[in-house]
Structure formats: C-alpha cells, structure tokens
Homo-oligomer: A and B are copies of this chain.
C-alpha cells in the first residue's frame, strides 16, 4: 500500500512557505503502515495539476492533495480536480451549512465567493471540514483514491485525523511498519558505521538502517517491514541492543526524542530544578526547555539580560568585571549563573553569553564565540565554544550545547 502527496502552491516552490504539511502527513502515514513513496510539489497552474494527477495515478494507490482550495482567484485545485474526473461541481448542503455556521460564529458577513466553497464535484464524497470553510474531497477512480484537502495546516490536520486516516484504515489492508530510533552525541556517522559494520552487513532485507546527522546529534533508525508486528518488534529490538552495546556511551536516548525531553525526564525523576540567565540565547533556552509539557515541575524562570545594564542590575555582575573581561567572558557567565541559581533557588542554573553576529565580532572574539556556565550543587562548570557564523545557527548550537552539558552534569 503506497501513497503520493501532491503539494500545490507557488509559495512552496519559491521558498516563501516551508512544506511542513508533507512532513506531517508522511509521519502519520508511516505510523499507520502506509508507505509514502514520493512528495511532488507543483505550481498553481491547471497544466501542472493535471499532469501531476496523471503521474500520481500511475504510481500509487492513494494520492493526497493539499492546497489551492481557498476562496480567491489563485486557488484553482477544485476546478481542475473536477475537470480531471469529468465531474461537474454541485452545491453540497452540509458543506454550505458549515460555511454559513463559520461566518455566523465569527460574526462576519458572508460574501458570494464564500458560498462557492460549498461546491464539490459530483461523485466524490464530501469530507466535512469543521476547522475551516473548504470541504475535503474523497474521489475513487480506476482503483486509486484521490483526496483533496486545504493547504492551511490546521484544516489539513483536522481532515486527516477525523476523516481521511479512519477511512484509509477501513478501506485498505495495511502492512506493519516498525521503527526504532536511538539518539547519539559526540560521535560522527562514519565512526559509528565503522564500529557496527558487521551488524549492518548482516541485516535481513526487510530491515533497513539509516544514519541521520544533525548539528551535534546522529540519529540511528532501524525500519522493519512485514506482517507480524510482534516478531518484527522482537527482531528489531535484538539488533537495536547489539548496536547500542557497541556505542553505549554515546547513546543519550533509546527513543526518538529531543534533548530537552530527555533532560526533562531526568530532572523530573531526580526531583531537580533549573533556571537560566541568558544573554546570547535571549530566552530561547528557557523557551526550548518549556516546550516539554509538565516542565513547570522543574523549570522556574529566567533572567534575559540582553543589555549590560540588566546584567549589572538584575544579575549582580559588577561593572568592573564587564569592563575588564567583556560581556562575553568566563567571569561574566559564571556570575550570571550563580546569581540565577540563588535568585530562583534552583539546583542548577545555566548562563549563556556570546556574539551571534552579523556585527559585534573582534579579532580576539570573532562572531560565534560563546561562553556557557552551569552553576550546580558541586560548583560552576564553564566552557568556551566557537559556533561559527549565522545568527540562528549560533543560537541553535548554543542551546544544544547547553542542554547536552547540563544532561552530562546531572546524569
């Protein structure tokens, strides 16, 4: 059972919008045992939509289409969809009621163009979109299922969860797909491959190993396909633990998880607390820690000290220390961490200071210079980093390093 996603929209092709829809759909299909074989992103023209429908029909049993269902002129998917199947548009009463309810709920006047949202091609099944005004459309033709959905992420997700996925599970007999992912740090992918080459060479055909590197982390993913979930899980588990034994000191999580989630688990288990004092990361570190639900159990707060005045007035850094060593220095981050620890009364406090760029670098302290300090029960840990260029990248790498050092300290 395989699927193709067609993402329609010029904004995706010119890079104005990131195709998060396709990634989300891929992940959901995968969990449900549907193999997504391709994502095809195309322009908002009738010609490219028609060609793509034909192409997808020749390759897959399920074609999921997003985009181009809005009320404005540039949205032409529904018309082209109807043409492709030779199925004239007719008004759907339930869809119209939904559109009218939507405008009533938000106390807005309905325009004639909004009423057109309730048209659907004859012969298709209308999928009621309670998150918006454009209905989804489920059309079967030549043994292929075509589903057209709006491109607005919340509306697409509503339709996938409440209509499309349940219908797919009902209609198709789905195979079992099992994934297991481990998260490693402090080792490059070629070194891992070298340490486990015999295990990798001995993998059966239906189990695949993938290396997924990102800054500071390499994920290893085993994927198995088959019919018997229990035996597949057992086999993958066994290979997984063999790999883990070879590189155990680099594995920081045995499930697909983010560093902040792993850290949250440790802090919760050990009943520890943490706070931050941030200059370079400017709240992004606190914000990352608190993306984890329940983080209020171990995270109390942060002082974001972007200006030196705030470092002096709120974080007890002396003016003299800044003048002698600069704001990006071991002395300053140490004081920031110590003050945060005592102000917030936490077991640990993490402080960051650095030069994100593009301006502000010097010969001695070029853009990308970062100091991190972690005050804890056994004293203050400090480290200097060179994070390279690119404002966002410097901040991202600093958050990663701060969390990963903190994890090492508490573990």
Interface residues of A (CB under 8 A from B): 10-20, 22-28, 30, 36-44, 48, 70-74, 108, 111, 113-114, 152, 154, 179, 188-191, 193-194, 200, 208-214, 219, 221, 223, 256, 276, 278, 281-287, 290-291, 293-296, 299-307, 309-310, 313-314, 343-345, 357-359, 391-393, 395
Contact status A303-B300, CB under 8 Å: no
> Given A11-B210, A13-B37, A194-B111, do A314 and B287 touch, yes or no (CB 8 Å)?
no
Shortest distance from the beta carbon of A150 to any chain B beta carbon, whole Å: 10
CA A392 to CA B179, docked complex, whole Å:
26
Cβ 8 A contact of A48, one of B23, B37, B44: B37
Chain B's closest residue to A51 (CB) is B59
Cβ 8 A contact of A305, one of B212, B301, B357: B301
Secondary structure at chain A's binding surface: helix, strand, loop or mixed? mixed
Cβ 8 A contact of A70, one of B73, B189, B300, B392: B189
CA A332 to CA B207, docked complex, whole Å:
55
Shortest distance from the beta carbon of A267 to any chain B beta carbon, whole Å: 13
CA A292 to CA B33, docked complex, whole Å:
43
Chain B's closest residue to A113 (CB) is B190
Cβ 8 A contact of A307, one of B15, B300, B314, B358: B300
Pairs across A and B, CB under 8 Å, 9 listed: A11-B212, A16-B219, A19-B23, A38-B40, A111-B190, A291-B391, A300-B309, A301-B304, A302-B306
Name the 10 nearest CB pairs between A and B, nearest first. Answer: A283-B283, A15-B27, A283-B286, A302-B304, A301-B310, A15-B26, A284-B287, A39-B41, A283-B287, A15-B23
Shortest distance from the beta carbon of A323 to any chain B beta carbon, whole Å: 18
Query: In the complex, which of the residues A73, A299, A392 has the most CB atoms of chain B within 10 Å of its own CB atom?
Result: A73
Cβ 8 A contact of A211, one of B38, B74, B188, B309: B74
Cβ 8 A contact of A13, one of B26, B72, B212: B26
Chain B's closest residue to A256 (CB) is B16
Contact status B283-A193, CB under 8 Å: no
Contacts of A213 in B (CB 8 A): 70, 152
Shortest distance from the beta carbon of A283 to any chain B beta carbon, whole Å: 3
Contacts of A200 in B (CB 8 A): 73
Query: In the complex, which of the residues A223, A281, A296 has the most CB atoms of chain B within 10 Å of its own CB atom?
Result: A296
> Given A70-B213, A74-B208, do A344 and B284 touch, yes or no (CB 8 Å)?
no
CA A306 to CA B300, docked complex, whole Å:
5
Cβ 8 A contact of A16, one of B27, B291, B293, B305: B27
Contacts of A15 in B (CB 8 A): 22-28, 30
Contact status A293-B359, CB under 8 Å: yes
Contact status B283-A71, CB under 8 Å: no
CA A16 to CA B219, docked complex, whole Å:
10
Query: In the complex, which of the residues A41, A214, A293, A391 has the most CB atoms of chain B within 10 Å of its own CB atom?
Result: A41
Chain B's closest residue to A114 (CB) is B190
Chain B's closest residue to A388 (CB) is B154
Contacts of A25 in B (CB 8 A): 15
CA A302 to CA B310, docked complex, whole Å:
9
> Given A301-B305, A391-B293, do A72 and B310 touch, yes or no (CB 8 Å)?
no
Query: In the complex, which of the residues A73, A200, A306 has the most CB atoms of chain B within 10 Å of its own CB atom?
Result: A306
Contacts of A194 in B (CB 8 A): 111, 113
Contact status B304-A304, CB under 8 Å: yes
Chain B's closest residue to A25 (CB) is B15
Given A14-B36, A18-B19: 8 more A-B contacts, CB < 8 Å: A11-B212, A17-B23, A40-B41, A72-B189, A284-B284, A286-B306, A301-B310, A309-B345
